[in-house]
Each structure stands twice: as structure tokens, then as C-alpha cells.
Amino acid sequence: MPILFSVTLRGLFTMAVLALLSESAFSAPPALPALNADLSQTSISGLSSGGFMAAQFEVAFSNSLVGAGIVAGGPFYCSGAYSSNTYIMNATTTCMRPIGPGPDAAKLVDIAKQFAKEGKIDDLSGLKKHKVYIFSGTKDNTVTTKVVDQTLRFLELAGVPAENIKYVKTKGSGHALITNNANDVACEITAPPFINDCDMYQAHDILNQIYGNLNPPTDKLSGKFVAFNQREFIDSDRTSMDDEAFAYVPASCETNRCKVHVALHGCQQGVAVIGDRYYKTTGYNEMADSNNIIVLYPQIKPSKSVPLNPRGCWDFWGYSSPDPAHPNFFSKDAPQIKAIDKMLKRLGQSRS
């Protein structure tokens, strides 16, 4: 009898484990599909920490991108602007609300050139072909215009032609991505979820500036939202990246080769915090749908332990690096940047 009881228990335990594994496999998001995307027409944009990350990714992969949209974001390697300060100190002062001088764009360009010589990022010459949209709201007291001015200065000094840059700093908005949704935050306010109704869709302007001569946005989406396993692309336990991310795929992109735009949310804007509002309501998809553009929405989630990222921000000061004194958050090998690059490569693979 004891032997039979032991065998029965073992059988029940095995069945329970198999059931759990089966349930886990069933609930896990699917893999990001290969869509034969035209990666020679890839671009990126972001707000706040996503804007800083967009600036980093644009410079790190300048040879692979055609442009960027930087909303309330500072220049490449901003948190390394002054070696007398720690990276986190620069990130929260010099790169946000500097009392004295803001980040020194000329110095940051020199640093970037050295990084390129070391093979950490692409040569800056790749920026010469880029089209860039930059934005700073006049009511934004989180990342002030003094900082965003240096984003413009960096790109100009790095070789982006002045005629390729659209810098908007006359709109009375708070720290937010701008929409034309009546239920979003009032334009001049800075408050969660940092998506503000200013009677225009900033996403439309970003895509128009980068790609030019686009069709008007559609009134009704033709495509589908794809939830996919983001964990597959992460090879570090310090990224603060969520297990799941999203993409919008227009119906035309199921059979045709489409461009790809990466849209990065800001702090406290990942799906873990605000649900689907950033990737469904900010206007990117309507413009993408009528212009054969796949929109990729990578996701960050808050982390209160290791790495310490309680507000769910993209890394522009080094929390994803094991050695905070020598971080690599800006480089092609940085864990977040590398994960996004892997996602893009998957989208560019031939359909099976």
C-alpha cells in the first residue's frame, strides 16, 4: 500500500507539472514574426527617456537608420557630459533642469567620435543622410528647452544638414507626447500618463518629417496589433525590459515590404503602467497604416531592485550596466539597444 501511494503521488505530481508547463506554453506570447521588412528605411522616435534612447540609438546605428524623432530628449551621451559628476547626477540635473550650463554638445560630439573609433558606435558620417524631428514644449519643466537645444546642436555638429532638421519649440505643452484626443491630459499640464491633447498628432509630424510626402492617416485601421515575446531578444538580467512587447502591422505589410519605425514610450508609460494607451492611441498607427510602415513598440517596466528603475525609464545613465563607473548604455552592445536591434533584424527576415 505505501508503494502504491508513493507511485500515485508521483503520478499526480508529474501531471501537475505537465499541466503547469502546458498552461505556461499556452499563455506565453508568440514570437515576433519575420515580415521581410525593408530595414534600409528604419527610423526611431521617443518621448523623454524614450527620446534620450532614440538619440542614442540613432547615433549608435547611424548607418542603418534614416532618421529620428526626439521629443523632450537630450543629446547622445548626455549623462556623460561632465566627468566631475556621476552619470545619474548628470542625468537628473544637467540633462533635465540645469541651473547653470546644460550639456556641452561640442564636447559630446568629440566623445562620440572617439566611441566610433573604438567601434562602440557607427561612424558619425552616417548621420548626414538623416531626417530629424526635435520637440520641446514651452511649458515643459521636466526636460527644459535649454537641454533640447543641445540635441539640435549635437546633430548639427555631427553632420546632419540644417535643412534635414525640424525643431519645434513654440507649442505650449507640458512634458508629454502630443495628440488630438479630447480625453488626454490638457496640453499645458505635466501629469501621467504624459499624453496630452494639443489638437494635433505629433506622431504624424514625426513620420512626415522622417519619410516625407506621406499619405494622410487612415480613419480606420486595416492591420493588426501583434503582442510578442520580447524576452526572446534579451540576454541580460539588468534591462528592466518587459516580457511582452507590441507591434502594429498594416494589412499591406503582410505581403509587401514595409518600412519600420520604432516608437519608444517614456518613463511611467510602458504597458505595465498605462496599459495600451501609448501603443494604440498616440497616432502612429493611423499614419503607418496608410504608408506601409510597421511600428515596433518595445516595452520597459518599473524595477525596484536590480536594476533600480522604479519609474520604468529607458536607460540613458547606466542602470543596465554591471559596472556603473564604466557603463555602456550608449553603445551598440548595450543590452536595451542590442535587444531592439535584434527585434528589427527579425522583422527584416524573409517570411517562412
36 by Cβ neighbours in 10 Å (0-12 / 13-18 / 19+) ranks as: middle
Question: What's the average model confidence in pLDDT over 27-35?
Answer: 91
- Collect contacts of 88-93 with beta carbons under 8 A, ≥24 apart: 88/317, 88/318, 88/324, 90/317, 91/316, 91/317
Contact 158, 147 (CB under 8 A): no
Q: Give the tens place of pLDDT for each residue, 71-118.
A: 999 999 999 999 999 999 999 999 999 998 899 999 999 999 999 999
pLDDT in tens, 249-272: 999 999 999 999 999 999 999 999
Active site residue 333: no
Give the DSSP letter of residue 321: S
Exactly one of 175, 204, 261, 265 is catalytic; name it.
175
Q: What are the pLDDT digits (tens) for 183-196?
A: 999 999 999 999 99
Q: Is 140 an annotated catalytic residue?
A: yes
Query: Sheet containing 195-197: which strands, arranged edge to edge?
Result: 177-179, 195-197, 185-186
Task: Return all residues near 54 (Cβ < 8 A) that are at least 6 apart.
Answer: 44, 45, 46, 68, 69, 70, 73, 262, 264
* Cβ atoms of 279 and 60 closer than 8 Å: no
| pLDDT higher than 60, residue 24 | no
pLDDT at residue number 28: 76
* Residues 294 and 261: beta-carbon distance below 8 Å: yes
Check pLDDT > 70 for residue 180: yes
233: cell is 531578444
The residue-averaged pLDDT of 166-183 equals 98
> Which of 38, 122, 140, 184 does the annotation list as catalytic?
140
Predicted confidence at residue 141, as pLDDT, reads 97
Which pTM value belongs to this model?
Answer: 0.92
DSSP 149-203: HHHHHHHHHHT--GGGEEEE------SSEEE--TTSEETT---TT-EEE-SS-HH
pLDDT, tens only, 131-171: 999 999 999 999 999 999 999 999 999 999 999 999 999 99
Identify the active-site residue in 43, 45, 48, 321: 48
Name the DSSP letter for residue 83.
Answer: T
CB atoms within 10 A of CB 191: 12
pLDDT digits (tens, 9 = 90+) for 211-233: 998 999 999 999 999 999 999 99
Whether residue 22 is predicted with pLDDT greater than 70 in this model: the reply is no
Between CA 32 and CA 229 the distance in angstroms is: 7
> Is the distance from CB of 298 to CB of 339 less than 8 angstroms?
yes
Residue 12 in grid coordinates: 499526480
pLDDT at 19: 46
The grid cell for 7 is 507511485
pLDDT of residue 100: 85
Q: What is the pLDDT of residues 123-136, one digit of tens each?
A: 999 999 999 999 99
User: Is the pLDDT at 1 greater than 50, yes or no?
Assistant: no
Kindly report each contact of residues 319-327 with a partner whose C-beta sits within 8 Å and lies 24 or more positions away, as own/partner. Answer: 319/238, 319/240, 320/236, 320/238, 320/239, 320/240, 321/238, 322/238, 324/86, 324/87, 324/88, 327/87
The percentage of the chain sitting over the pLDDT mark of 70, rounded to a whole number, equals 92
- For the chain, the distance separating the N- and C-terminal CA atoms, rounded to the nearest angstrom, is 55
175 catalytic, yes or no?
Answer: yes
CA distance 222 to 28: 26
Residue 121: alpha-carbon gap to chain centroid:
18
What is the C-alpha to C-alpha distance for residues 305 and 337, in angstroms, rounded to an integer? 21
Q: What pLDDT score was predicted for residue 20?
A: 45
Name the one residue in this structure whose C-alpha cell is 508629454.
176
Residue 142 has a pLDDT of: 98
Tell me the pLDDT band of 324, cut-offs 50, 70 and 90.
Answer: confident
The confidence score (pLDDT) of residue 10 equals: 53
Residues 129/135/141/146 CA torsion (nearest 10 deg): 50
